[in-house]
Amino acid sequence: MKLGVIGLPNVGKSTLFNAITRAGAQVANYPFCTIEPNVGVVAVPDERLNKLAALYDSKKVTPAVIEFVDIAGLVKGASKGEGLGNKFLSHIREVDAIVHVVRCFNDPNVTHVENTVDPVRDMETINLELIYADIETAQRAVEKAKTAAKSGEKSAQNELALLEGLYEHLAKGNPARNYIYNEEEREIITNLFLLTDKPVIYAANISENDLSKNENELSLVNAVNKRADAEKAEVLVICAKVEEELSIMDEADRDVFLTEYGIKESGLNRLIKKCYWLLGLISFLTAGEKETRAWTITKGTKAPQAAGKIHTDFLKGFIRAEIVPYEILLECGNYNNAKEKGKVKSEGKDYEVKDGDVILFRFNV
């Protein structure tokens, strides 16, 4: 899973990304890697892994991972080539979802490109650039569809009507993800790779002083929530500065720090979990003496395709999947006990893997 972190200058985007990459450097048993200066890979928090590893006395624990891309170069006019322009937009096309950092704090020592703090205005600035780029994409698609529709084929005419509707929708300043279409039309829209069709999480970046306050007391956050609801987007309240401080602490100090602020879980962990939910992702688990590992799949994935995530041979030679839910395995104490109690189910190719399934795949090649 690849997430693009975007935002205007001085909203806290770089601070949050620094926190993300430093946290990645501290991931146990997973080598942090910076693929490029602006890409970082971090582990998906999953408390089940260590407990499962203890059960199997595993030598290695490998979490699922998530890739964050710090997308720079956004200014007004990006859709027309200003700033990094097309390079910036191409980076967004490559991500699965967008984390849009918006400034929800006042600090006279941190200037704003517009000289005032207004998160809704900032949201609109970026969204309009993405919409402008999508309008150009939709316009090209409409022109192509018009040529195809001259054949008189019903399917071509239906596609043209769909694309013309999309163009009008975008021209009114609406993101593509709000455009209504049916399952049959989904492939046509998906193949356009529209920027505003991607799921969005607005990271409302607040000050340290606001961490102890109820969200309802924060007028800037309320404004972001209202605008996000209208867009069918998600909001996560986070303090990038605190996340950066947490990222350089050891686990014991981090726990004390979180307790002092009255925070149950770091913002980074909440962000990753929310992204998982937003994209419809789950994790199944494999365990043994060599390794306990989490594997990321989308909800609804069938057992053979899940097996293929481990190795293509598992998919080609799939026979069956022996499955026990994580909670039940822990209750039973070990796999053999679970099997004796009839808690291990043998499932075939039509089984949809569930989050937390501990799976042993049987295959033959």
> pLDDT for 129-181, tens place per residue?
889 989 999 999 999 999 999 888 899 999 999 999 999 999 999 999 989 99
Is 60 exceeded by the pLDDT of residue 220?
yes
Give the per-residue pLDDT at 344.
96
pLDDT band with cut points at 50, 70 and 90 for residue 365:
confident
Query: Average pLDDT, stretch 274-281?
Result: 89
Q: Which residue has the higher pLDDT, 26 or 9?
A: 9
Q: How confident is the model at residue 77 (pLDDT cuts 50, 70, 90)?
A: low
**Is the model's pLDDT at 87 over the cut of 70?**
no
Task: Say whether pLDDT at 125 is over 60.
Answer: yes
Average pLDDT for residues 312-338, to the nearest whole number?
Answer: 95
Answer yes or no: is pLDDT of 31 > 70: no
Q: Could you count the other beta carbons within 10 Å of the beta carbon of residue 308?
A: 18
114 pLDDT above the threshold of 80: no
Structure tokens at 174: 């609406």
Residue 356 pLDDT:
96
What percent of the chain is predicted at pLDDT more than 90?
53
Predicted confidence at residue 74, as pLDDT, reads 57
For residue 326, the model assigns a pLDDT of: 97
Q: Between the CA of residue 331 and those of 41, 62, 339, 343, what are the distances in Å?
A: 33, 23, 12, 11
Please give the pLDDT value at position 316: 94
Contact between 267 and 232 under an 8 Å Cβ cutoff? The reply is no
Mean pLDDT of the chain: 87
- Return the SS3 of 151: coil
For 23-34, what is the mean pLDDT? 45
pLDDT at 75 over 80: no
Q: Is 98 exposed, middle or buried (0-12, 13-18, 19+ CB in 10 A)?
A: buried
To the question of pTM greater than 0.75 for the whole model, the response is yes
The pLDDT of residue 268 is 86
pLDDT at 265: 85
51 closest CA partner among 338, 265, 334, 307: 334
pLDDT of res. 83: 45
Q: Who wins on pLDDT, 166 or 107?
A: 166
pLDDT at 138: 96
**Weakest mean pLDDT among 129-143, 251-265, 278-292, 332-346:** 251-265
- pLDDT range class, residue 16, cuts 50, 70, 90: confident
> Which pair of tokens denotes residue 30?
């997973």
Residue 134 in tokens: 């999508």
Least confident of 28-42, 273-287, 321-335: 28-42
Q: Is the pLDDT of residue 90 over 90?
A: no
pLDDT of 221 above 80: yes
* Closest among 197, 200, 162, 192 to 177, alpha carbons compared: 197
The pLDDT value given to residue 352:
97
Distances in whole angstroms, Cα of residue 63 to Cα of each of 69, 75, 164, 285, 303 = 19, 36, 44, 9, 20
- Is the pLDDT at 17 greater than 70? The verdict is yes
